């Protein structure tokens, strides 16, 4: 009996051991699965602040994040900001900070410019002619004529706009003072901090809406006076104003931190100056010396590494934005660093940022920007990848790595579009500058020879372009930079129209040999309508064709206008 009991005890003990074994086994499997799920799906490694992830490792905020705002202020603003070398400081001293209503920001601006806010300005900022004309018709109870602004954009006189007589009588003193300020080495407004610094969802540096608005009105004032001076025969005075506009555009692009908005607005200012036609007053034709002044100014507009500087600034702003969004997402505040973005980006971030590997996000953003400054070319095929579709979202959202990659893809999609836009802006500005320089050379050749060249025009104007003439013959975006070719063609007419507004030079998609760089007016008409050869530059929604006129003006024709027969016929003198 005892032996039988012993066997039962042994069986029970063996069963208990098996149960214990299976319990331990399943516990181990459960722990393994749990840890696997945790580390794969839930665990998110801490952000490692390093050159690979953030590119900037200092300075830090009190909570251990990168203080991008302070970094920008310390590294991108000239040390001459609070001195008389800065024309904007002199402007605020004399005219006040005309578009800054926030008293907190105004106090900071005056302090950083080393000015006393209690000392009132000594001059008033003039009104623009457009505003004066609008107020005039409002005061007499009439609507503004449809064509009045178009007429004011051309050369004008007081006979056409008698309501501007007081403006003309009083404008010289303030504009001459502003011109002196603009020709200082710098024209830079200071950064200012947010009132609500405890809100970590906001950047501490705001964009300079007041600075851009001030510069925009300044350009309108000088442009209007230049066109009035041309109408009066004061070509030298008009050139002074045109050069001032060019210089202000250069300040925005070169001296200020390389925000893309500064590049865009600075380029617009250059285009405004280039669009002013000098040779429109038969009684006071432009001479060669005057054209050489404009040409010399254009040569000084070149900025070194502009694309690289702007891309680097966009990298910093994007990393700042990502840091703000990932740490304190607020769907109701899209303007985290001063500009709004696509709703799709925020929808992706709303879910993709949850328990995601943020190291991946920052690394991939940096790799994307590297591609656009000539690094990591082997990754170029990935920078235009679209955000993930709905099928991909499910699988990506299962893991921390996938969520990080998901969020990174959204930002890469956004970054690549921003970088492409910056590149197109710079290309368009350089193309306009090249056409202007070639147009000036043709005008100088005509003064010396009595007529425009009809064949081999590139060879004939080389002496007027200087030793580095080749840089004016190709658009920056042209992949074919052959020395014997050019992207610009001269428009030939059987009988040159007396109207100087007709086409002179247009830009081609692909460069052609010098001896083939001509088109007849009929060929231009066909190509504008059929989109055969002429180059389109810009955004998908804002594509333009760059060209110059016989009177020296350089303009862009929106692609949407290429089907407007009246406009096209006017460009080639058919109407």
Q: Which segments of 450-485 does DSSP mark as H helices, in order?
A: 457-461
What does the pLDDT average to over 216-230? 93
Residues in Cβ contact with 187 at an 8 Å cutoff, skipping those fewer than 6 apart: 86, 87, 88, 91, 181, 248, 251, 252, 255
Phi-psi region of 96 (alpha: psi -120 to 50; beta: other; left: phi over 0): left
Q: Over 70: is that where the pLDDT of 479 sits?
A: no
What does the pLDDT average to over 233-244? 94
Q: What's the token pair of residue 93?
A: 């001293």
End-to-end CA distance of the chain: 126
Residue 352 confidence (pLDDT): 47
Annotate 35-95 with DSSP letters as a single string.
HHHIIIII--PPP--STTTTS----B-TTS-B-HHHHHHHHSS-TTTTSTTBHHHHHHHHH
Cβ atoms of residues 241 and 222 within 8 Å: yes
Q: Give the residue from 167, 208, 243 showing the smallest Cα distance to 76.
A: 208
**d(Cα 218, Cα 530) in Å, to the nearest integer?**
40
Cβ atoms of residues 460 and 505 within 8 Å: no
**d(Cα 179, Cα 358) in Å, to the nearest integer?**
49
Q: What percent of the chain has pLDDT over 90?
A: 17
Phi and psi at 432, nearest 5°, equal -60, -40
Give residue 390's Cα distance to chain centre: 33
Average pLDDT, the chain: 78
**d(Cα 482, Cα 300) in Å, to the nearest integer?**
25
What does the pLDDT average to over 306-325? 82
Residue 206 confidence (pLDDT): 47
Q: How confident is the model at residue 49 (pLDDT cuts 50, 70, 90)?
A: confident
Cβ atoms of residues 203 and 337 within 8 Å: yes
Cβ atoms of residues 519 and 400 within 8 Å: no
**d(Cα 459, Cα 456) in Å, to the nearest integer?**
6
142-156, 205-219, 238-252, 522-536, range with greatest mean pLDDT: 238-252
What does the pLDDT average to over 435-454? 90
Q: How confident is the model at residue 345 (pLDDT cuts 50, 70, 90)?
A: low
Residue 109 confidence (pLDDT): 84
**d(Cα 2, Cα 339) in Å, to the nearest integer?**
89
Residue 381 confidence (pLDDT): 44
Lowest-pLDDT range of 89-98, 111-120, 140-149, 309-318: 140-149
Q: What's the token pair of residue 451?
A: 């007529």
Lowest-pLDDT range of 179-183, 407-411, 570-574: 570-574
Cβ atoms of residues 26 and 43 within 8 Å: no
**d(Cα 31, Cα 324) in Å, to the nearest integer?**
36
What does the pLDDT average to over 121-139? 89
What does the pLDDT average to over 173-177? 95
pLDDT tens digits, residue range 411-431?
Answer: 777 777 777 778 888 888 888
DSSP state of 143: P
pTM: 0.84
Q: How confident is the model at residue 240 (pLDDT cuts 50, 70, 90)?
A: very high
What does the pLDDT average to over 366-374? 80
Residue 527 confidence (pLDDT): 67
Q: Is 355 exposed, middle or buried (0-12, 13-18, 19+ CB in 10 A)?
A: middle
Q: Give the residue from 460, 504, 508, 451 showing the smallest Cα distance to 485.
A: 508
Residue 536 confidence (pLDDT): 52
Q: How confident is the model at residue 333 (pLDDT cuts 50, 70, 90)?
A: very low
Helix 165-182 / helix 209-232 crossing angle, nearest 10 deg: 120
DSSP state of 470: G
What does the pLDDT average to over 5-32? 79
Cβ atoms of residues 92 and 184 within 8 Å: no
Q: How confident is the model at residue 47 (pLDDT cuts 50, 70, 90)?
A: confident
DSSP state of 536: -
């Amino acid at each position: 009996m005892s032996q039988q009991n012993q066997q039962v005890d042994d069986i029970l003990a063996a069963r208990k051991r098996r149960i214990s074994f299976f319990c331990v086994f399943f516990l181990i499997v459960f722990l393994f699965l749990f840890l696997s799920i945790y580390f794969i799906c839930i665990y998110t490694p801490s952000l490692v602040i390093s050159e690979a992830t953030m590119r900037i490792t200092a300075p830090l905020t009190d909570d251990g994040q990168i203080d991008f705002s302070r970094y920008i202020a310390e590294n991108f603003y000239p040390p001459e900001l609070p001195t008389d070398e800065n024309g904007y400081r002199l402007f605020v001293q004399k005219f006040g900070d005309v578009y800054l209503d926030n008293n907190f920001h105004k106090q900071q601006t005056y302090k950083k410019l080393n000015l006393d806010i209690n000392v009132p300005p000594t001059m008033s900022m003039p009104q623009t002619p457009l505003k004066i004309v609008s107020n005039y018709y409002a005061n007499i109870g009439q609507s503004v004529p449809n064509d009045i602004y178009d007429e004011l954009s051309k050369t004008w006189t007081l006979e056409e706009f008698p309501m501007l007589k007081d403006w003309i009588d009083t404008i010289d003193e303030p504009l001459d003072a502003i011109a002196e300020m603009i020709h200082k080495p710098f024209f830079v407004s200071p950064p200012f901090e947010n009132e609500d610094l405890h809100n970590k969802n906001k950047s501490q540096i705001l964009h300079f809406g007041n600075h851009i608005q001030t510069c925009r009105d300044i350009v309108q004032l000088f442009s209007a006076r230049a066109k009035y001076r041309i109408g009066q025969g004061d070509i030298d005075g008009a050139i002074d104003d045109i050069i001032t506009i060019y210089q202000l555009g250069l300040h925005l692009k070169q001296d200020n931190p390389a925000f893309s908005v500064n590049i865009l607005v600075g380029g617009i200012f250059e285009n405004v100056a280039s669009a002013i036609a000098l040779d429109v007053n038969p009684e006071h034709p432009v001479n060669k010396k005057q054209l050489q002044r404009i040409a010399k100014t254009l040569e000084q507009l070149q900025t070194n590494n502009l694309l690289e500087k702007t891309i680097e600034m966009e990298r910093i702003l994007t990393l700042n934005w990502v840091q703000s969004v990932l740490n304190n997402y607020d769907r109701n505040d899209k303007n985290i660093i001063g500009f709004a973005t696509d709703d799709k980006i925020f929808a992706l971030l709303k879910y993709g940022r949850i328990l995601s590997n943020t190291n991946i996000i920052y690394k991939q953003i940096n790799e994307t920007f590297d591609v656009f400054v000539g690094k990591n070319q082997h990754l170029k095929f990935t920078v235009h990848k679209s955000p993930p579709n709905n099928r991909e979202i499910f699988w990506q959202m299962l893991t921390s790595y996938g969520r990080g990659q998901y969020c990174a893809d959204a930002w890469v999609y956004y970054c690549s579009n921003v970088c492409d836009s910056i590149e197109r802006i710079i290309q368009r500005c350089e193309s306009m500058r090249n056409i202007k320089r070639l147009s000036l050379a043709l005008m100088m050749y005509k003064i010396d020879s009595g007529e425009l060249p009809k064949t081999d025009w590139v060879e004939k104007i080389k002496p007027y372009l200087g030793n580095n003439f080749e840089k004016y013959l190709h658009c920056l975006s042209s992949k074919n930079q052959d020395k014997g070719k050019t992207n610009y063609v001269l428009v030939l007419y059987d009988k040159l129209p007396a109207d100087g507004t007709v086409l002179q030079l247009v830009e081609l998609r692909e460069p052609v040999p010098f001896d083939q760089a001509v088109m007849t007016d009929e060929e231009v008409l066909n190509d504008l309508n059929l989109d055969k050869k002429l180059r389109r530059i810009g955004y998908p929604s804002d594509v333009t064709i760059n060209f110059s006129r016989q009177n020296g003006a350089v303009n862009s024709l929106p692609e949407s206008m290429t089907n407007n027969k009246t406009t096209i016929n006017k460009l080639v003198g058919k109407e």
